[in-house]
Amino acid sequence: MAMRFSIYMLLVLSVYFISNCPVNLAHRNEDDPTIKTMEEFSGYPIHESHFLNSLSSLSVDAETLQKQIDELSSFSDSPAPSVTRILYSEKDVLSRRYIKNLMEASGLSVREDAIGNIFGRWTGSEPELAPVSTGSHTDAIPYSGKYDGVVGVLGAIEAINVLKRSSFKPKRSLDVIMFTSEEPTRFGIGCLGSRLLAGSKELAQQLEKTVDGQNVSFFYAAKSAGYMNVEKLSTVFLEKGSYSAFVELHIEQGPILEEEATSIGIVTAIAAPASIKVDFEGTGGHAGAVLMPKRNDAGLAAAELALAVEKHVLESGSIDTVGTVGILELHPGAINSIPSKSHLEIDTRDIDEERRNSVIDKIYESALSISKRRGVKLSEYKIVNQDPPALSDELIIKAAESASQELELTYKKMISRAYHDALFMARVSPMGMIFIPCYKGYSHKPEEFATIDHIADGVKVLALTLAKLSLS
């Protein structure tokens, strides 16, 4: 009876102490025996729980973060305000060194894998648990902007700094990842680094014979950038469950958040693309001498298929289904010559895989029909990739929602219509994304812009979300 009473009194005193002395607890040594005793009886991590209830401690060094964004943009092969940073180029190597230096300055232990995915780890109090990860990419397509991907890397490092300044102690380790080659610019493979992390054996085999537009092999380019063990691609693969969660901070790349004056977008799903290459071959001829009934015009076949793509996408009945003919090339490309060859590259996306694949099937049927009707040869119809969409994890959505609410920031749930490294990290761990507004939805162009206030809000939400997930 006396023992029960003493335990009861200890719990009462613990509640009183927590309620009346929160500031003292925040600065007490985590090894303090009083705190340890209270945690044992309450079954709750007192030190960390105080942090989650103390939002005033979240402080983003916005001035330094903006300076870092500007400095990173100077590693570019095109003049400001545009940014061009191609995989394994000199500027890409300089940007990697810059990111690693920032990670080390933030006290993270840094490692790189065989293709240059960079990891910075803040080791938690229970390092045996699967870590929580965050990050994005820093490569940039020609003449793009300085925020796409970069906000998710520099913002992630700053989120770690925010937590450290707040005296937070993670239970699960926290990893910041800079992914190699999210953009497909050099080798035509989007999300190359995260695809390999997700264990794509097909991609690993493909890279053995992949070359760029100058016939430089992937392996040679990687070695030139300093990655000597690049042939060991299987060492890049992560086991499923290697992370307990992955969260990517990113500009929206669309106009919705800005138009609705909403601070934060919480992504519920990522639409995935399928890419198709189509070639038609006709007979060509002189533009004046061959009469219209006698023509086998490969250019008109391509034009008709481009319109068919639009037709099939609209017939899906969903606003989430989109299709684009991004490349249309004609041969020989002379004004007075009937095209004898045409080449199209088609991108179609949806958050519903079955609906998107139905569109792909209809595009193929149209290509066959057009070929027969116009007397041209369908010499190629190749599906280059057909990635499945990904749904965000409900626990990560709730963590980001809770963080936004606690920070008193407006937010909305939304779909990501662009795809990101998070799409492939979803194959490794539960996934989520946090969007911030960007000017007019511009992206992949020099006018791409996000205010430092919006970036700072995103960093705060990311930091608090990572804290919640680290304690889970």
Percent of the chain with pLDDT over 70: 88
How many whole angstroms separate alpha carbon 411 and alpha carbon 260?
Answer: 10
Q: Are strands 245-251 and 431-436 parallel, antiparallel or unpaired?
A: parallel
pLDDT per residue as tens digits for the range 400-445: 999 999 999 999 999 999 989 999 999 999 999 999 999 999 999 9
In this predicted structure, the answer to whether residue 389 has a pLDDT above a threshold of 70 is: yes
pLDDT per residue as tens digits for the range 229-284: 888 999 999 999 999 999 999 999 999 999 999 999 999 999 988 999 999 999 99
Q: What is the pLDDT of residue 51?
A: 56
How many whole angstroms separate alpha carbon 29 and alpha carbon 47?
Answer: 9
Ranges of H-type helices in 329-438: 353-374, 394-406, 421-425
Contact call for residues 373 and 282 (beta carbons, < 8 A): no
> Which backbone phi and psi does 243 adopt, to 5 degrees?
-120, 150
Ranges of H-type helices in 244-389: 256-259, 298-315, 353-374
pLDDT per residue as tens digits for the range 44-101: 454 444 556 555 468 999 999 999 999 999 999 999 999 999 999 999 999 999 999 9
Residue with tokens 């290697």: 242
In this predicted structure, the answer to whether residue 28 has a pLDDT above a threshold of 90 is: no
Contact call for residues 412 and 265 (beta carbons, < 8 A): yes
Contact call for residues 191 and 419 (beta carbons, < 8 A): yes
Q: What is the pLDDT of residue 231?
A: 86
* Residue that wins the pLDDT comparison between 173 and 41: 173
Q: What is the pLDDT of residue 217?
A: 97
Would you tell me which CATH number, out of the four given (3.30.1490.190, 2.40.30.110, 1.10.10.60, 3.40.630.10), belongs to the domain 62-271+398-470?
3.40.630.10
For residue 5, name the pLDDT band (cuts at 50, 70, 90): very low
Q: What is the pLDDT of residue 6?
A: 43
For residue 33, name the pLDDT band (cuts at 50, 70, 90): low
Tokens of 93: 């190597």
Q: What is the pLDDT of residue 57?
A: 65
Q: What is the pLDDT of residue 8?
A: 38
For residue 292, name the pLDDT band (cuts at 50, 70, 90): very high
In this predicted structure, the answer to whether residue 20 has a pLDDT above a threshold of 50 is: no
- SS3 per residue for 206-228: HHCCCECCCCCEHHHHHHHCCCC
pLDDT per residue as tens digits for the range 153-190: 999 999 999 999 999 999 999 999 999 999 999 998 99
State the average pLDDT for the chain: 90
> Which backbone phi and psi does 433 adopt, to 5 degrees?
-135, 150
Domain ranges of the chain: 62-271+398-470, 272-386
Ranges of H-type helices in 260-340: 298-315
- Mean pLDDT, to the nearest integer, of 184-197? 95
Q: What is the pLDDT of residue 58?
A: 87
Q: What is the pLDDT of residue 9?
A: 41
Residue type, 337: S
Q: What is the pLDDT of residue 16?
A: 39
Please count the other Cβ atoms lying within 10 Å of the Cβ belonging to residue 336: 8
Phi-psi region of 180 (alpha: psi -120 to 50; beta: other; left: phi over 0): beta
Q: What is the pLDDT of residue 25?
A: 37
- Mean pLDDT, to the nearest integer, of 15-37? 44
Q: What is the pLDDT of residue 235?
A: 96
Q: Return the closest-CA partner of residue 343 out of 381, 286, 292, 392.
A: 381
Radius of gyration (Cα) for the chain, nearest Å? 26
Percent of the chain with pLDDT over 90: 85
Residue type, 340: S
Q: What is the pLDDT of residue 204?
A: 95
For residue 13, name the pLDDT band (cuts at 50, 70, 90): very low
- Mean pLDDT, to the nearest integer, of 104-131? 98
Would you tell me which CATH number, out of the four given (3.90.1300.10, 3.30.70.360, 1.10.357.10, 3.40.30.10), belongs to the domain 272-386?
3.30.70.360
What global pTM score does this model have?
Answer: 0.84
The C-alpha angle with vertex 125 and arms to 119 and 128, in degrees rounded to 5, equals 65
Q: What is the pLDDT of residue 229?
A: 87
Residue type, 69: I
How many whole angstroms separate alpha carbon 67 and alpha carbon 287?
Answer: 57
